[in-house]
């Protein structure tokens, strides 16, 4: 039997994979629930980064929320969040709900989106075109979008976790057709539920393989060079699949980030005139934190 001295034993243990939290158990589909996989060192690191940027008072005021994850080992993810279940207005970020609903409906019906709808979806995601988003919502159906978000399989809006992704109004002037039942938002999100969207996308559980690739193509190579994209310009190895949103003082960004063999998730939502700059400044520290282990 080999006996290791205390220092050698400590070094050996550092080489072993970190144990997942006891509650981070695989579900029926073989994957754990992301929110159950909080990694304490990563959680402390996230809080440290936010404090270093001077944003902790904004967290206390419910004006800033973030969620990050390392899903390189997709069945043993490491997750951390601050105000992860805080429902917030998220501007254009919830357009990912329309994107998802379009392909979920196509999958169910066995009919691909026609050329006009496909072009509206492309413009909605690539250029955040509000008129295209409104046309797409009307074509897909308001209730269809909400049904997909609340489906038992996806639960991207879940009252048990204070809500999540919600889209209860198109992106044109006019009244809401259905505000979220908990917080009265029309374009809402929680950081954790956006992170779950990207986790489900990365593991092929949103839609089938062909539609997963279509969604990745639309989210990849972002047109807008702001927020996380701008903040990661000095990390050219990072490849982002993202949707951003900005309206007045409301700023949001969510991304699946691929770097070599690593797969990461970064989400942040801010309610402040300077919120866009906060997200630029946070991008590299959050990426470096996730890449460090």
- Contact at 8 Å (CB) between 154 and 34? no
In b/e form, how buried is each residue of 169-188, taking b as 16+ CB within 10 angstroms?
bbbeeeeeeeebeeeebbbb
- Per DSSP, the three-state class of 75 is coil
Q: Is the pLDDT of residue 2 over 80?
A: no
Write down the mean pLDDT value for the chain: 92
pLDDT given for residue 6 in this prediction: 39
pLDDT of res. 276: 98
Look at residue 133 and tell me whether its pLDDT is greater than 90. yes
- pLDDT, one tens digit per residue, over 6-52 is 334 333 333 333 445 657 999 989 999 999 999 999 999 999 999 99
Domains and CATH numbers, the chain: 34-291 (3.40.710.10)
With a cut of 50, say whether residue 84 has pLDDT above it.
yes
pLDDT in tens, 241-276: 999 999 999 999 999 999 999 999 999 999 999 999
- pLDDT computed for residue 9 by the predictor: 34
Cβ–Cβ under 8 Å, residues 225 and 240:
no
DSSP string for 119-172: HHHHHHHHS--HHHHHHHHHHH-HHHHHHHHT-TTT-SEEGGGTEE-EE-S-SS
Cα–Cα distance for residue pair 208/191, rounded to 1 Å: 24
pLDDT band at 109 (very low <50, low <70, confident <90, very high): confident
């Amino acid at each position: 039997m080999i006996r290791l001295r205390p220092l050698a034993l400590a070094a050996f243990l550092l080489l072993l994979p970190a144990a997942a939290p006891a509650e981070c158990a695989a579900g029926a589909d073989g994957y754990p629930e992301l929110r159950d996989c909080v990694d304490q060192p990563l959680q402390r690191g996230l809080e440290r980064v936010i404090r270093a940027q001077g944003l902790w008072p904004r967290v206390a005021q419910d004006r800033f929320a973030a969620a990050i994850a390392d899903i390189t080992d997709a069945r043993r993810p490491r997750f951390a969040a601050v105000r992860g279940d805080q429902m917030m207005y998220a501007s254009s970020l919830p357009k990912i709900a329309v994107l998802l609903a379009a392909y979920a409906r196509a999958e169910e019906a066995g009919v691909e989106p026609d050329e006009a709808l496909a072009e509206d979806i492309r413009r909605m995601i690539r250029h955040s075109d509000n008129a295209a988003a409104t046309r797409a919502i009307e074509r897909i159906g308001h209730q269809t979008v909400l049904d997909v978000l609340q489906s038992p399989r996806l639960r991207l809006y879940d009252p048990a976790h204070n809500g999540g992704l919600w889209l209860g109004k198109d992106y044109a002037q006019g009244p809401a057709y259905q505000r979220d039942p908990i917080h009265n938002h029309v374009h809402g999100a929680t950081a954790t539920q956006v992170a779950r969207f990207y986790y489900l996308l990365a593991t092929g559980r949103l839609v089938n393989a062909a539609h997963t690739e279509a969604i990745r193509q639309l989210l990849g190579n972002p047109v807008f060079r702001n927020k996380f994209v701008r903040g990661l310009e000095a990390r050219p190895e990072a490849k982002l699949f993202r949707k951003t949103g900005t309206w007045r003082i409301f700023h949001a960004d969510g991304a699946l980030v691929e770097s070599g063999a690593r797969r990461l998730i970064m989400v942040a939502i801010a309610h402040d005139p300077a919120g866009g700059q906060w997200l630029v400044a946070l991008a590299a520290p959050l990426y470096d934190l996730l890449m460090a282990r």
